[in-house]
């Protein structure tokens, strides 16, 4: 992305409502004029999707999106909070009035000069939800199902899920803080059931991180029929899940019942005391 994260997030929240930085400073001033010690504005938007496959079929897909702004006003030990799902100047002013009225028992605060701080981004600005087409996500889940079943004939059921989210946030505070951040997140989970005779056992594996779906999906040339393929990490997850299920098929119950316990000097005595000593003392 050519523009920095601060500018990108700022445009995301403010441009649709034609809100400028001067407008935000005006909102902060209106809060601080009501005998409020300190205040802050917190903008947040969150989009999330999930895809799940079972028995070779993608049976479920979901998507949700939320956004809004929260306004906090602090006066002494009191805190007023208000929020709005509409990021528009009239809504900001109304929320500021509500938050300031709740906590109007302190001294009139002073708005420090707003300074935008550029910090080193911890994550790449990748929106997992829009970075690749939905076809690639469905193809990945189908490939997981086929690969896991090929690993061993005992695998009778495969469930796989893929989820991603993209979160943006921005904070402006009366102490002059003005910062923004983005948080992408993806996760892939695989669960299998192995059957041998009348016994069935489950194995599972998964991974995730703050990056894009490119972690799980390889891209080939446009002319290739298999444009999307599972990454080595996904194949390893499938192998781990299958191996776990197969090991569980051979597992035996741990010994149980009355068994002798041998305690040596030192900490074992402390453990014994904590386990039953206090009860006996009572």
Which of these, 41, 40, 104, 109, lies nearest to 78 by C-alpha position? 104
Domain count of the fold of the chain: 1
Q: What is the model's pLDDT at position 238?
A: 97
Domain presence at residue 262:
no
CA angle 155, 161, 167 (to 5 degrees): 160
Domain presence at residue 272:
no
**The CATH number of the domain where 162 resides is what?**
3.30.2290.10
Q: Is residue 2 scored above 50 in pLDDT?
A: no
Q: Is residue 279 scored above 90 in pLDDT?
A: no
Contact 188, 234 (CB under 8 A): yes
Which of these, 166, 139, 130, 129, lies nearest to 58 by C-alpha position? 139
Domain presence at residue 169:
yes
Q: What is the model's pLDDT at position 118?
A: 64
Domain presence at residue 116:
yes
Domain presence at residue 17:
yes
Q: Is residue 221 scored above 80 in pLDDT?
A: no
For residue 23, what are the domain limits? 5-250
Q: Could you tell me which residue, 33 or 25, shows the higher pLDDT?
A: 25
Three-state SS for 11?
helix
Q: What pLDDT, in 10s, does the model give residues 155-214? A: 999 999 999 999 999 999 988 889 999 999 999 999 999 999 999 999 999 999 999 999
Domain presence at residue 154:
yes
Q: What pLDDT, in 10s, does the model give residues 131-165? A: 899 999 999 999 999 999 999 999 999 999 999 99
Q: What is the 3-state secondary structure (H, E, C) of 85-144?
A: CCCCHHHHHHHHHHHHHHCCCCCCCCCCCCEECCCCCCCCCCCHHHHCCHHHHHHHHHHH
What distance in Å separates the CA atoms of residue 188 and residue 217, rounded to the nearest whole number?
11
What the block records as the tokens of 102 is 């709740």
Q: What is the model's pLDDT at position 184?
A: 96
Q: Quick count: other Cβ atoms within 10 Å of Cβ 207?
A: 16
The pLDDT confidence band at residue 117, using thresholds 50, 70 and 90, is low
């Amino acid at each position: 992305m050519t523009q920095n994260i601060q500018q990108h997030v700022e445009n995301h929240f403010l441009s649709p409502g034609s809100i400028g930085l001067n407008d935000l400073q005006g909102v902060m001033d209106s809060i601080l004029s009501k005998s409020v010690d300190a205040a802050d504005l917190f903008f947040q938007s969150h989009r999330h999707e999930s895809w799940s496959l079972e028995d070779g079929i993608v049976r479920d897909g979901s998507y949700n999106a939320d956004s809004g702004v929260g306004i906090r006003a602090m006066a002494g030990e009191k805190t007023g909070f208000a929020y709005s799902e509409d990021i528009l100047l009239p809504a900001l002013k109304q929320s500021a009035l509500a938050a300031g009225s709740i906590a109007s028992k302190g001294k009139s605060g002073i708005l420090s000069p707003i300074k935008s701080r550029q910090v080193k981004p911890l994550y790449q600005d990748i929106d997992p939800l829009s970075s690749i087409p939905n076809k690639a996500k469905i193809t990945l889940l189908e490939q997981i199902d086929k690969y896991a079943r090929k690993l061993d004939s005992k695998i009778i059921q495969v469930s796989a899920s893929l989820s991603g989210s993209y979160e943006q946030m921005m904070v402006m505070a009366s102490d002059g803080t003005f910062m923004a951040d983005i948080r992408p997140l993806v996760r892939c989970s695989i669960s299998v059931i192995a059957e041998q005779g009348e016994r069935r056992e489950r194995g599972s594996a998964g991974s995730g991180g703050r990056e894009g779906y490119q972690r799980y999906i390889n891209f080939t040339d446009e002319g290739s029929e298999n444009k999307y393929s599972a990454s080595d990490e996904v194949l390893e997850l499938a192998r781990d899940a299958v191996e776990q299920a197969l090991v569980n098929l051979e597992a035996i119950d741990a010994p149980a019942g009355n068994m002798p316990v041998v305690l040596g000097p030192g900490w074992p005595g402390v453990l014994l005391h904590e386990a039953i000593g206090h009860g006996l003392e009572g």
